[in-house]
Structure 1
Amino acid sequence: MTALRTFEARAGWPALRERLATRLSESELQLLDEAVEFAVRWHGEQRRPAGEPYLEHLLEAVLVLVEGVGVTDVDVLRAAVLHDVVEDTGCSLSEVGGRFGPAVAELVDWVTKAEPVEGQSREQVRAAYLERLRQAPEDALLVKLADRLSNVQRLDTHPRPEKRRSYYRETLRSVVPLAQGHPWFRQWYATWAESFAFLEDAS
Protein backbone atom coordinates (compact mmCIF):
# COMPACT_ATOMS: atom_id res chain seq x y z
CA MET A 1 0.00 0.00 0.00
CA THR A 2 1.27 3.47 -0.87
CA ALA A 3 2.16 5.55 2.19
CA LEU A 4 -0.26 8.36 2.91
CA ARG A 5 1.32 11.80 2.56
CA THR A 6 0.37 14.11 5.41
CA PHE A 7 0.78 17.85 5.80
CA GLU A 8 1.73 19.60 9.03
CA ALA A 9 1.92 23.28 9.98
CA ARG A 10 2.78 22.97 13.67
CA ALA A 11 5.71 25.36 13.32
CA GLY A 12 3.30 28.22 12.56
CA TRP A 13 3.00 30.86 9.88
CA PRO A 14 6.56 32.34 9.98
CA ALA A 15 8.09 28.93 9.24
CA LEU A 16 5.51 28.14 6.57
CA ARG A 17 5.98 31.58 5.03
CA GLU A 18 9.70 30.94 4.66
CA ARG A 19 8.95 27.58 3.11
CA LEU A 20 6.56 29.11 0.57
CA ALA A 21 9.00 31.85 -0.42
CA THR A 22 10.44 29.60 -3.13
CA ARG A 23 7.05 29.46 -4.85
CA LEU A 24 5.40 32.80 -4.10
CA SER A 25 6.61 36.38 -4.49
CA GLU A 26 7.11 38.69 -1.53
CA SER A 27 4.06 40.72 -2.54
CA GLU A 28 1.95 37.54 -2.63
CA LEU A 29 3.30 36.50 0.76
CA GLN A 30 2.35 39.89 2.16
CA LEU A 31 -1.21 39.34 0.94
CA LEU A 32 -1.18 36.02 2.77
CA ASP A 33 0.22 37.75 5.86
CA GLU A 34 -2.93 39.88 5.96
CA ALA A 35 -5.21 36.86 5.61
CA VAL A 36 -3.39 34.96 8.36
CA GLU A 37 -3.54 37.96 10.69
CA PHE A 38 -7.27 38.32 9.99
CA ALA A 39 -7.90 34.61 10.62
CA VAL A 40 -5.91 34.65 13.85
CA ARG A 41 -7.88 37.63 15.10
CA TRP A 42 -11.24 36.02 14.39
CA HIS A 43 -10.51 32.42 15.36
CA GLY A 44 -8.73 33.50 18.53
CA GLU A 45 -8.20 30.61 20.92
CA GLN A 46 -10.35 28.12 19.01
CA ARG A 47 -9.00 24.58 18.85
CA ARG A 48 -9.64 21.59 16.66
CA PRO A 49 -11.27 18.41 18.07
CA ALA A 50 -7.89 16.79 18.78
CA GLY A 51 -6.75 19.92 20.62
CA GLU A 52 -4.45 21.59 18.10
CA PRO A 53 -4.76 25.37 17.50
CA TYR A 54 -7.25 26.19 14.76
CA LEU A 55 -4.63 28.04 12.75
CA GLU A 56 -2.79 24.78 12.10
CA HIS A 57 -5.76 23.47 10.13
CA LEU A 58 -5.96 26.63 8.02
CA LEU A 59 -2.24 26.58 7.27
CA GLU A 60 -2.36 22.87 6.44
CA ALA A 61 -4.95 23.64 3.76
CA VAL A 62 -2.59 26.24 2.26
CA LEU A 63 0.30 23.80 2.37
CA VAL A 64 -1.76 21.13 0.60
CA LEU A 65 -2.66 23.56 -2.18
CA VAL A 66 0.87 24.87 -2.73
CA GLU A 67 3.06 21.80 -2.18
CA GLY A 68 0.57 19.10 -3.06
CA VAL A 69 -1.38 20.55 -5.96
CA GLY A 70 0.92 23.37 -7.09
CA VAL A 71 -1.57 26.22 -6.61
CA THR A 72 -0.02 29.70 -6.55
CA ASP A 73 -3.14 31.83 -7.12
CA VAL A 74 -3.05 34.07 -4.06
CA ASP A 75 -6.84 34.52 -3.97
CA VAL A 76 -7.31 30.75 -3.72
CA LEU A 77 -4.67 30.58 -1.00
CA ARG A 78 -6.22 33.46 0.94
CA ALA A 79 -9.60 31.75 0.69
CA ALA A 80 -8.00 28.62 2.14
CA VAL A 81 -6.77 30.63 5.12
CA LEU A 82 -10.19 32.22 5.56
CA HIS A 83 -12.43 29.30 4.64
CA ASP A 84 -13.92 28.83 8.14
CA VAL A 85 -13.99 32.41 9.32
CA VAL A 86 -17.64 33.04 8.39
CA GLU A 87 -18.92 29.61 9.44
CA ASP A 88 -17.07 29.36 12.75
CA THR A 89 -16.68 32.93 14.02
CA GLY A 90 -18.71 36.14 14.19
CA CYS A 91 -17.15 37.45 10.97
CA SER A 92 -19.54 38.21 8.10
CA LEU A 93 -19.01 37.48 4.43
CA SER A 94 -19.27 41.20 3.70
CA GLU A 95 -16.33 41.80 6.03
CA VAL A 96 -14.29 39.24 4.13
CA GLY A 97 -15.23 40.86 0.83
CA GLY A 98 -14.51 44.35 2.09
CA ARG A 99 -11.05 43.36 3.24
CA PHE A 100 -9.97 40.83 0.62
CA GLY A 101 -12.18 41.48 -2.40
CA PRO A 102 -15.10 39.76 -4.12
CA ALA A 103 -13.11 36.84 -5.58
CA VAL A 104 -11.95 35.68 -2.14
CA ALA A 105 -15.39 36.28 -0.62
CA GLU A 106 -17.06 34.18 -3.33
CA LEU A 107 -14.74 31.25 -2.65
CA VAL A 108 -15.33 31.51 1.09
CA ASP A 109 -19.06 31.63 0.47
CA TRP A 110 -18.98 28.40 -1.52
CA VAL A 111 -17.31 26.49 1.31
CA THR A 112 -19.42 27.98 4.12
CA LYS A 113 -22.38 26.01 5.48
CA ALA A 114 -25.53 28.05 5.92
CA GLU A 115 -27.28 28.45 9.25
CA PRO A 116 -30.41 26.27 9.59
CA VAL A 117 -33.66 27.98 8.78
CA GLU A 118 -36.83 27.32 10.78
CA GLY A 119 -37.79 23.66 10.57
CA GLN A 120 -34.47 22.59 9.11
CA SER A 121 -32.13 20.27 10.98
CA ARG A 122 -28.34 20.60 11.00
CA GLU A 123 -28.17 17.26 9.18
CA GLN A 124 -30.36 18.67 6.40
CA VAL A 125 -28.16 21.78 6.20
CA ARG A 126 -25.05 19.62 5.92
CA ALA A 127 -26.60 17.46 3.21
CA ALA A 128 -27.65 20.54 1.22
CA TYR A 129 -24.18 22.03 1.60
CA LEU A 130 -22.46 18.91 0.31
CA GLU A 131 -24.92 18.67 -2.59
CA ARG A 132 -24.34 22.32 -3.50
CA LEU A 133 -20.59 21.73 -3.73
CA ARG A 134 -21.23 19.61 -6.81
CA GLN A 135 -21.93 22.88 -8.66
CA ALA A 136 -18.99 24.78 -7.17
CA PRO A 137 -16.38 26.42 -9.43
CA GLU A 138 -13.02 24.68 -9.69
CA ASP A 139 -11.17 27.05 -7.35
CA ALA A 140 -13.80 26.57 -4.65
CA LEU A 141 -13.49 22.79 -5.04
CA LEU A 142 -9.73 23.03 -4.56
CA VAL A 143 -10.24 24.92 -1.29
CA LYS A 144 -12.83 22.38 -0.12
CA LEU A 145 -10.69 19.38 -1.04
CA ALA A 146 -7.70 20.86 0.80
CA ASP A 147 -9.89 21.66 3.80
CA ARG A 148 -11.23 18.11 4.01
CA LEU A 149 -7.78 16.63 3.44
CA SER A 150 -6.52 18.48 6.50
CA ASN A 151 -9.52 17.26 8.48
CA VAL A 152 -9.19 13.59 7.57
CA GLN A 153 -5.45 13.00 7.10
CA ARG A 154 -5.15 12.11 10.80
CA LEU A 155 -8.72 10.95 11.30
CA ASP A 156 -7.63 8.35 13.85
CA THR A 157 -6.72 11.18 16.27
CA HIS A 158 -10.33 12.41 16.49
CA PRO A 159 -11.45 11.93 20.10
CA ARG A 160 -14.87 10.45 19.18
CA PRO A 161 -14.80 7.01 17.52
CA GLU A 162 -18.32 7.41 16.15
CA LYS A 163 -17.29 10.67 14.46
CA ARG A 164 -14.30 8.93 12.86
CA ARG A 165 -16.62 6.40 11.26
CA SER A 166 -19.29 8.84 10.13
CA TYR A 167 -16.72 11.31 8.77
CA TYR A 168 -14.95 8.54 6.86
CA ARG A 169 -18.20 7.42 5.26
CA GLU A 170 -19.33 10.97 4.49
CA THR A 171 -15.98 11.74 2.87
CA LEU A 172 -16.21 8.64 0.67
CA ARG A 173 -19.79 9.42 -0.29
CA SER A 174 -19.72 13.19 -0.81
CA VAL A 175 -16.16 14.49 -1.06
CA VAL A 176 -14.18 11.81 -2.90
CA PRO A 177 -16.44 12.22 -5.99
CA LEU A 178 -15.51 15.92 -6.05
CA ALA A 179 -11.84 14.94 -6.35
CA GLN A 180 -12.23 12.89 -9.51
CA GLY A 181 -11.46 15.81 -11.84
CA HIS A 182 -8.25 16.68 -9.97
CA PRO A 183 -5.58 13.98 -10.44
CA TRP A 184 -3.47 14.82 -7.40
CA PHE A 185 -6.47 14.91 -5.06
CA ARG A 186 -7.97 11.81 -6.69
CA GLN A 187 -4.83 9.82 -5.94
CA TRP A 188 -4.43 11.21 -2.44
CA TYR A 189 -8.02 10.38 -1.45
CA ALA A 190 -7.71 6.89 -2.96
CA THR A 191 -4.66 6.23 -0.77
CA TRP A 192 -6.45 7.78 2.22
CA ALA A 193 -9.56 5.63 1.73
CA GLU A 194 -7.42 2.51 1.71
CA SER A 195 -5.43 3.64 4.76
CA PHE A 196 -8.56 4.21 6.84
CA ALA A 197 -10.72 1.40 5.45
CA PHE A 198 -10.67 -0.24 8.88
CA LEU A 199 -13.13 2.44 10.01
CA GLU A 200 -15.78 1.05 7.69
CA ASP A 201 -16.12 -2.05 9.82
CA ALA A 202 -15.20 -0.54 13.18
CA SER A 203 -17.78 -1.06 15.91
Structure 2
Amino acid sequence: MEFPSYLGTMPMHAITEIYGEAGLRERFRIEIGRFPGPDRDRLAAALDLAARLHRDDRRVREPYLNHLLRVSIRIMHHYEVSDVDVIVAAVLHDTVEDHPDELAGHPDATAEEALAVLAERFGGRTAQLVGAVTNPIYDPSLDKYEQYREHVRESLDGEPWARVIKVSDFTDNGVGVIHTTGPKVERSATKYRPMVPVLRELVGRPDTPLSPPVKQHIFRQLDLAEERFAAILDGR
Protein backbone atom coordinates (compact mmCIF):
# COMPACT_ATOMS: atom_id res chain seq x y z
CA MET A 1 0.00 0.00 0.00
CA GLU A 2 1.25 3.48 -0.86
CA PHE A 3 0.86 6.30 1.64
CA PRO A 4 0.91 10.06 1.02
CA SER A 5 3.99 12.09 1.94
CA TYR A 6 1.88 14.03 4.46
CA LEU A 7 0.88 10.93 6.44
CA GLY A 8 3.06 12.21 9.29
CA THR A 9 0.76 15.18 9.82
CA MET A 10 -2.64 13.63 9.08
CA PRO A 11 -5.19 13.43 11.93
CA MET A 12 -5.14 9.92 13.31
CA HIS A 13 -8.82 9.19 12.82
CA ALA A 14 -8.44 10.28 9.18
CA ILE A 15 -5.59 7.78 8.83
CA THR A 16 -7.80 5.16 10.48
CA GLU A 17 -10.72 5.77 8.14
CA ILE A 18 -8.68 5.91 4.94
CA TYR A 19 -5.78 3.53 5.53
CA GLY A 20 -6.77 1.46 8.58
CA GLU A 21 -4.27 -0.48 10.63
CA ALA A 22 -1.65 -0.39 7.88
CA GLY A 23 -1.71 3.41 7.84
CA LEU A 24 -1.44 3.67 11.62
CA ARG A 25 1.46 1.21 11.62
CA GLU A 26 3.22 3.34 9.01
CA ARG A 27 2.59 6.49 11.07
CA PHE A 28 4.03 4.70 14.12
CA ARG A 29 7.09 3.77 12.06
CA ILE A 30 7.51 7.42 11.05
CA GLU A 31 7.24 8.61 14.64
CA ILE A 32 9.80 6.16 16.02
CA GLY A 33 12.20 6.94 13.18
CA ARG A 34 13.75 9.76 15.21
CA PHE A 35 14.85 7.42 18.00
CA PRO A 36 18.25 5.66 18.15
CA GLY A 37 18.35 2.11 16.81
CA PRO A 38 18.09 0.24 20.15
CA ASP A 39 15.10 2.37 21.18
CA ARG A 40 13.41 1.79 17.82
CA ASP A 41 13.94 -1.94 18.26
CA ARG A 42 12.39 -1.83 21.72
CA LEU A 43 9.38 0.13 20.49
CA ALA A 44 8.93 -2.24 17.54
CA ALA A 45 9.15 -5.24 19.90
CA ALA A 46 6.43 -3.72 22.10
CA LEU A 47 4.18 -3.26 19.07
CA ASP A 48 4.84 -6.83 17.94
CA LEU A 49 3.84 -8.15 21.37
CA ALA A 50 0.71 -5.98 21.51
CA ALA A 51 -0.27 -7.11 18.00
CA ARG A 52 0.10 -10.76 18.97
CA LEU A 53 -1.82 -10.49 22.23
CA HIS A 54 -4.65 -8.38 20.79
CA ARG A 55 -4.77 -10.15 17.41
CA ASP A 56 -8.40 -11.28 17.87
CA ASP A 57 -9.66 -8.21 19.76
CA ARG A 58 -12.00 -5.70 18.16
CA ARG A 59 -13.27 -2.22 19.00
CA VAL A 60 -16.69 -2.14 17.32
CA ARG A 61 -15.58 -1.45 13.74
CA GLU A 62 -11.83 -1.87 13.90
CA PRO A 63 -8.95 -4.00 15.19
CA TYR A 64 -8.12 -3.21 18.80
CA LEU A 65 -4.52 -2.55 17.81
CA ASN A 66 -5.64 0.67 16.12
CA HIS A 67 -6.50 2.09 19.53
CA LEU A 68 -3.07 1.23 20.94
CA LEU A 69 -1.35 2.74 17.92
CA ARG A 70 -3.30 6.00 18.22
CA VAL A 71 -2.63 6.25 21.97
CA SER A 72 1.13 5.86 21.50
CA ILE A 73 1.35 8.06 18.38
CA ARG A 74 -0.55 10.83 20.19
CA ILE A 75 1.94 10.70 23.05
CA MET A 76 4.90 11.01 20.69
CA HIS A 77 3.49 13.56 18.25
CA HIS A 78 0.99 15.74 20.13
CA TYR A 79 2.40 15.39 23.66
CA GLU A 80 6.03 15.66 22.44
CA VAL A 81 7.18 12.76 24.63
CA SER A 82 10.48 11.02 23.85
CA ASP A 83 10.69 8.84 26.98
CA VAL A 84 10.82 5.32 25.55
CA ASP A 85 9.63 3.65 28.76
CA VAL A 86 6.45 5.73 28.60
CA ILE A 87 5.80 5.06 24.92
CA VAL A 88 6.37 1.32 25.33
CA ALA A 89 3.95 1.35 28.28
CA ALA A 90 1.41 3.17 26.12
CA VAL A 91 1.64 0.50 23.43
CA LEU A 92 1.23 -2.24 26.05
CA HIS A 93 -1.18 -0.46 28.40
CA ASP A 94 -4.05 -2.95 27.95
CA THR A 95 -2.07 -6.18 27.74
CA VAL A 96 -2.11 -7.03 31.45
CA GLU A 97 -5.78 -6.19 31.86
CA ASP A 98 -6.90 -8.08 28.75
CA HIS A 99 -4.39 -10.93 28.33
CA PRO A 100 -2.58 -11.80 31.57
CA ASP A 101 -2.85 -15.50 30.76
CA GLU A 102 -1.00 -15.25 27.45
CA LEU A 103 1.60 -12.94 28.93
CA ALA A 104 2.36 -15.16 31.90
CA GLY A 105 1.92 -18.41 30.00
CA HIS A 106 -0.86 -20.11 31.98
CA PRO A 107 -4.66 -19.74 32.17
CA ASP A 108 -4.94 -18.62 35.80
CA ALA A 109 -2.30 -15.90 35.67
CA THR A 110 -2.65 -12.88 37.91
CA ALA A 111 -1.97 -9.28 36.91
CA GLU A 112 1.13 -9.36 39.10
CA GLU A 113 2.52 -12.33 37.17
CA ALA A 114 1.82 -10.64 33.85
CA LEU A 115 3.48 -7.43 35.03
CA ALA A 116 6.53 -9.43 36.08
CA VAL A 117 6.83 -10.72 32.51
CA LEU A 118 6.64 -7.16 31.16
CA ALA A 119 9.27 -6.07 33.67
CA GLU A 120 11.60 -8.82 32.47
CA ARG A 121 11.08 -7.97 28.80
CA PHE A 122 10.82 -4.17 28.89
CA GLY A 123 12.06 -3.05 32.30
CA GLY A 124 10.59 -2.39 35.71
CA ARG A 125 9.61 1.22 35.03
CA THR A 126 7.57 0.27 31.98
CA ALA A 127 5.81 -2.48 33.96
CA GLN A 128 5.10 -0.03 36.79
CA LEU A 129 3.47 2.41 34.37
CA VAL A 130 1.35 -0.34 32.81
CA GLY A 131 0.32 -1.41 36.31
CA ALA A 132 -0.77 2.13 37.16
CA VAL A 133 -3.20 2.25 34.22
CA THR A 134 -4.47 -1.34 34.61
CA ASN A 135 -7.96 -1.60 36.08
CA PRO A 136 -8.39 -3.94 39.03
CA ILE A 137 -11.21 -6.44 39.41
CA TYR A 138 -14.08 -4.37 40.77
CA ASP A 139 -16.59 -5.29 43.46
CA PRO A 140 -19.74 -6.33 41.54
CA SER A 141 -21.94 -5.12 44.42
CA LEU A 142 -20.77 -1.51 43.97
CA ASP A 143 -21.11 0.98 41.13
CA LYS A 144 -18.39 0.03 38.62
CA TYR A 145 -18.03 3.52 37.14
CA GLU A 146 -17.60 5.05 40.58
CA GLN A 147 -14.96 2.43 41.40
CA TYR A 148 -13.25 3.21 38.09
CA ARG A 149 -13.05 6.94 38.86
CA GLU A 150 -11.69 6.29 42.34
CA HIS A 151 -9.10 3.86 41.00
CA VAL A 152 -7.89 6.40 38.44
CA ARG A 153 -7.55 9.12 41.09
CA GLU A 154 -5.61 6.86 43.43
CA SER A 155 -3.39 5.08 40.90
CA LEU A 156 -2.36 8.26 39.07
CA ASP A 157 -1.89 10.44 42.13
CA GLY A 158 1.75 9.43 42.55
CA GLU A 159 2.49 8.44 38.93
CA PRO A 160 2.88 11.60 36.82
CA TRP A 161 3.96 9.75 33.68
CA ALA A 162 1.06 7.32 33.94
CA ARG A 163 -1.24 10.36 33.75
CA VAL A 164 0.18 11.00 30.28
CA ILE A 165 -0.76 7.50 29.14
CA LYS A 166 -4.21 7.66 30.72
CA VAL A 167 -5.13 11.02 29.18
CA SER A 168 -4.11 9.82 25.71
CA ASP A 169 -6.18 6.67 26.26
CA PHE A 170 -9.08 8.82 27.45
CA THR A 171 -8.78 11.14 24.45
CA ASP A 172 -9.03 8.21 22.07
CA ASN A 173 -12.08 6.89 23.93
CA GLY A 174 -13.69 10.21 24.81
CA VAL A 175 -13.08 12.57 21.90
CA GLY A 176 -13.26 9.50 19.65
CA VAL A 177 -16.72 8.56 20.91
CA ILE A 178 -18.19 9.95 17.68
CA HIS A 179 -16.40 7.16 15.83
CA THR A 180 -18.22 4.54 17.94
CA THR A 181 -21.55 3.00 17.00
CA GLY A 182 -24.40 1.19 18.72
CA PRO A 183 -25.10 0.88 22.46
CA LYS A 184 -21.44 1.50 23.29
CA VAL A 185 -21.87 5.20 22.48
CA GLU A 186 -24.09 5.90 25.49
CA ARG A 187 -22.17 3.51 27.74
CA SER A 188 -18.89 5.22 26.92
CA ALA A 189 -20.30 8.69 27.47
CA THR A 190 -21.76 7.64 30.83
CA LYS A 191 -18.47 6.09 31.93
CA TYR A 192 -16.12 8.80 30.75
CA ARG A 193 -17.99 12.07 31.27
CA PRO A 194 -17.30 12.23 35.04
CA MET A 195 -13.61 11.65 34.28
CA VAL A 196 -13.19 15.00 32.53
CA PRO A 197 -12.68 17.09 35.71
CA VAL A 198 -10.58 14.34 37.29
CA LEU A 199 -8.15 14.27 34.37
CA ARG A 200 -8.15 18.04 34.02
CA GLU A 201 -6.97 18.34 37.62
CA LEU A 202 -4.34 15.61 37.23
CA VAL A 203 -2.94 17.04 33.98
CA GLY A 204 -2.87 20.53 35.46
CA ARG A 205 -0.65 19.54 38.37
CA PRO A 206 2.85 21.07 38.29
CA ASP A 207 4.51 17.63 38.41
CA THR A 208 2.73 16.32 35.30
CA PRO A 209 5.71 16.22 32.90
CA LEU A 210 4.22 18.02 29.92
CA SER A 211 4.90 21.51 28.56
CA PRO A 212 2.32 24.31 29.10
CA PRO A 213 1.32 24.33 25.39
CA VAL A 214 0.77 20.55 25.46
CA LYS A 215 -1.34 20.87 28.60
CA GLN A 216 -3.45 23.54 26.89
CA HIS A 217 -3.89 21.21 23.92
CA ILE A 218 -5.09 18.47 26.26
CA PHE A 219 -7.50 20.84 28.02
CA ARG A 220 -9.04 21.70 24.64
CA GLN A 221 -9.42 17.99 23.93
CA LEU A 222 -11.11 17.49 27.31
CA ASP A 223 -13.49 20.36 26.48
CA LEU A 224 -14.30 18.71 23.16
CA ALA A 225 -14.92 15.39 24.89
CA GLU A 226 -17.31 17.08 27.34
CA GLU A 227 -19.20 18.68 24.45
CA ARG A 228 -19.62 15.30 22.79
CA PHE A 229 -20.69 13.59 26.02
CA ALA A 230 -23.26 16.34 26.60
CA ALA A 231 -24.66 15.95 23.09
CA ILE A 232 -25.07 12.22 23.68
CA LEU A 233 -26.43 12.24 27.22
CA ASP A 234 -28.24 15.52 27.72
CA GLY A 235 -30.51 15.05 24.74
CA ARG A 236 -31.93 11.74 25.92
Q: TM-score under structure 2 normalisation? A: 0.73
1:159 to 177, 182, 186: 182
Name the structure 2 match of 1:93: 115
Unaligned runs of 5+ in 1: none
Map 1:142-181 to 2 at 5 A.
Answer: 142-156=164-178, 157-160=180-183, 161-181=185-205
The structure whose Rg is larger is 2
Distance change (3 Å), C-alpha of 1:180 and 1:130: same
Pick from 87, 91, 101 the counterpart of residue 77 of structure 1: 87
Q: 1:21/1:40 Cα in 2 relative to 1: closer, same or farther (>3 Å)?
A: closer
Deviation at 1:65, TM superposition (A): 0.5
Structure 1's 25 and 158: CA in aligned 2 closer, same or farther, altered over 3 A? farther
Give the alignment of 1:23-42 within 5 angstroms.
23-42=34-53
Q: Which moved more, 1:86-95 or 1:119-128?
A: 119-128
1:184 aligned residue (187, 206, 217) = 217
Which SS does the other structure have where 2:35 is aligned? coil
Tell me, yes or no, if the aligned pair for 1:23 and 1:72 is still in contact at 8 Å. no
Following superposition, the deviation at residue 114 of structure 1 comes to 1.0
Q: 1:65 aligns with which of 75, 84, 100?
A: 75
Instruction: Give the C-alpha shift of residue 196 in structure 1.
Output: 4.6
User: Which range moves more in the overlay, 11-20 or 133-142?
Assistant: 11-20
Deviation at 1:132, TM superposition (A): 1.1
- 1:107 lines up with 2:107 in the alignment: no
Contact 2:46 2:88 in 1 (8 A): yes
Q: Which runs of 5+ in 2 are unaligned?
A: 1-9, 104-113, 206-214
Report SS of the residue matched to 1:167. helix
Question: Per chain length, whose mean CA-contact separation is higher, i.e. which structure has more relative contact order (CA < 8 Å, sep 6+)?
Answer: 1
Q: State the aligned residue count.
A: 198
Q: Give me the whole-angstrom Cα distance separating, in 1, the residues matched to 2:42 and 2:171.
A: 24
1:129 maps onto 2:134 in alignment:
no
The C-alpha deviation readout for 1:106-143, integer Å capped at 9, x for no partner, is 00010001123686664454243123145132111001
Residue 209 of structure 2 corresponds to none
Of 124-133 and 58-67, more deviation after overlay is shown by: 124-133
8 Å CA contact 1:113, 1:125 repeated in 2: no
**CA offset digits 1:164-194 (Å, max 9, x no partner):** 4303423324333323343331232223333
CA contact (8 A) 1:6 1:153 kept: no
2:189 and 2:25 map into 1 onto residues whose CA distance is 35
Identical columns (%): 26
Q: Cα RMSD over matched residues?
A: 2.5
* Residue 7 of structure 1, aligned match among 1, 8, 12: 12
